[in-house]
């Protein structure tokens, strides 16, 4: 059988949906699929062009009559163009708004040549953006019009069904991690630089949006710092950054908080941490927690959302309510005080992440879906 040719669209900048889409494309290409990334710029994790990988930049012309360049139309045109010239079988879009709309248009333009549309819902496209009154009906329409819809957790599937009243046939295909990239690694030099006094390290990584609840990270750290030798590493950037910086100053934590900015190589930093803290308001999955687990770093994470689908509270990590500052501090304190317990949990975390959510295992699910569709 000919391997399918697939067009992949995602937001190319920092963010879990872009990471999943890019890693999926890279893995599919290794399996022999022809993969065409159709995005507004190079996806940040697309660092090299292997065999079978192509990149098509969506051009967005500026005209004085437009207040904003119509991204959706430019994307639909690019998708149609690539589908036509490269005989695409499938357009696989990540994050519904507006990517599923562009794919819908491209599929209409291709008729009668068949072109299947798969929409992968990642999180806020359903839990926040899709529920805005101005996006609600079109999000529901696009879910119904896609040839297949996947969600990254059962939580997100149930949320989609509850809110939009559609999606019984949604397939759950969880986030995944490449255990050859995200793995335990001893880097004494980096550790020495980040924790010169031999302190323990707590790490938070996100795009610093409201939903990530980063002020809670600072508050939990403030409590812990009272009776632990510990430092906080903040990785990423985003709209909440100045509020977070203000909070760090207000709590007089400047000397023990390290702002590392955005990193395209999280796999280099994650393994030096002792604990990952992700207290999001909700998280449909929480990819960075899975990546941390693969590096044998224990996650302490929000209980709201899909995290319980890969974190077994008290065994390979901890789940806490995002407002439970003391509960999170207590869980981390236990880990910092008991090295043996932390190491045992870290081993379980690595095993569970790589066995159940390893790239090759999840890739099979996507390939089966593609085969079913074409």
Residue 300 in tokens = 């302490």
The nearest distance, CB 14 to ligand GMT, in angstroms, is 8
Task: Confirm or reject binding of residue 287 to ligand GMT (CB under 6 A).
Answer: yes
The nearest distance, CB 11 to ligand GMT, in angstroms, is 6
Here's the x/- map for ligand GMT, 166-195, by CB under 6 A: it reads as ---------x--------------------
Q: Which of 6, 211, 295, 296 binds ligand GMT (CB under 6 A)?
A: 211
How far from 74 is each of 6, 22, 105, 120, 190, CA to CA, in Å? 19, 21, 11, 21, 44
Here's the x/- map for ligand GMT, 134-153, by CB under 6 A: it reads as ------------------x-
Taking the C-alpha atoms of residue 184 and residue 201, their distance in angstroms, rounded to an integer, is: 15
Task: Confirm or reject binding of residue 124 to ligand GMT (CB under 6 A).
Answer: yes
Q: What's the distance, CA 100 to chain centroid?
A: 18
The phi and psi torsions of 302 (rounded to 5 degrees) equal -55, 140
Task: Confirm or reject binding of residue 285 to ligand GMT (CB under 6 A).
Answer: yes
Cβ neighbours around 53 below 10 Å, total: 19
Q: Which of 80, 116, 122, 350 binds ligand GMT (CB under 6 A)?
A: 122
By CB neighbour count within 10 A (0-12 exposed, 13-18 middle, 19+ buried), where does 118 fall?
Answer: buried
The nearest distance, CB 138 to ligand GMT, in angstroms, is 17
3-state helix, strand, coil in the chain (%, to 5): 45, 20, 35
DSSP-based three-state secondary structure for 355: helix
DSSP-based three-state secondary structure for 51: coil
Looking at the Cβ atoms of 91 and 205, the one nearer to ligand GMT is 205
Q: Which of 15, 236, 271, 299 binds ligand GMT (CB under 6 A)?
A: 15
Q: Which of 4, 7, 12, 16 binds ligand GMT (CB under 6 A)?
A: 16
Pair 3, 31: CB distance under 8 Å: yes
Looking at the Cβ atoms of 5 and 20, the one nearer to ligand GMT is 20
Looking at the Cβ atoms of 83 and 288, the one nearer to ligand GMT is 288
The nearest distance, CB 57 to ligand GMT, in angstroms, is 20
Q: Which of 7, 130, 222, 286 binds ligand GMT (CB under 6 A)?
A: 286
Taking the C-alpha atoms of residue 125 and residue 201, their distance in angstroms, rounded to an integer, is: 33
User: Which stretches of the chain bind ligand GMT, using CB under 6 A?
Assistant: 15-18, 20, 122-125, 152, 175, 211, 280, 283-287
């Amino acid at each position: 059988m000919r391997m399918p040719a697939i067009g992949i669209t995602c937001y190319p900048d920092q963010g879990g949906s872009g990471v999943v889409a890019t890693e999926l494309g890279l893995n599919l290409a290794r399996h022999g699929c022809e993969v065409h990334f159709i995005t507004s710029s190079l996806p940040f994790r697309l660092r090299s062009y292997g065999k079978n990988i192509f990149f098509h930049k969506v051009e967005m012309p500026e005209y004085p009559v437009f207040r904003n360049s119509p991204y959706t139309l430019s994307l639909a045109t690019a998708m149609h163009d690539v589908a036509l010239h490269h005989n695409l079988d499938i357009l696989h879009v990540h994050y519904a708004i507006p990517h599923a709309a562009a794919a819908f248009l491209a599929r209409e333009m291709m008729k009668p040549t068949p072109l299947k549309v798969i929409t992968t819902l990642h999180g806020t496209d359903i839990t926040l953006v899709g529920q805005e009154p101005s996006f609600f009906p079109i999000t529901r329409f696009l879910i119904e019009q896609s040839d297949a819809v996947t969600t990254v957790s059962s939580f997100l599937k149930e949320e989609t069904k509850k809110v939009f009243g559609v999606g019984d046939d949604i397939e759950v295909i969880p986030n995944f991690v490449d255990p050859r990239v995200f793995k335990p690694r001893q880097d004494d030099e980096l550790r020495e630089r980040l924790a010169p006094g031999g302190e323990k390290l707590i790490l938070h990584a996100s795009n610093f949006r409201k939903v990530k609840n980063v002020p809670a990270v600072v508050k939990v750290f403030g409590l812990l710092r009272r009776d632990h030798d510990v430092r906080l590493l903040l990785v990423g950037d985003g709209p909440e950054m100045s509020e977070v910086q203000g909070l760090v100053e207000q709590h007089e934590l400047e000397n023990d908080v390290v702002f590392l900015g955005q990193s395209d190589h999280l796999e280099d930093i994650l393994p030096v941490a002792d604990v990952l803290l992700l207290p999001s308001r909700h998280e449909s999955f929480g990819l960075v927690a899975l990546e941390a687990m693969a590096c044998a770093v224990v996650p302490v994470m929000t209980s709201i959302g899909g995290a319980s689908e890969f974190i077994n509270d008290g065994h390979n990590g901890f789940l806490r309510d995002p407002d439970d500052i003391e509960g999170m501090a207590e869980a981390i304190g236990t880990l910092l005080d008991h090295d043996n317990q932390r190491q045992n949990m870290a081993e379980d975390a690595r095993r569970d992440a790589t066995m159940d959510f390893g790239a090759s295992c999840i890739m099979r699910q996507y390939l089966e879906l593609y085969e079913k569709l074409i």
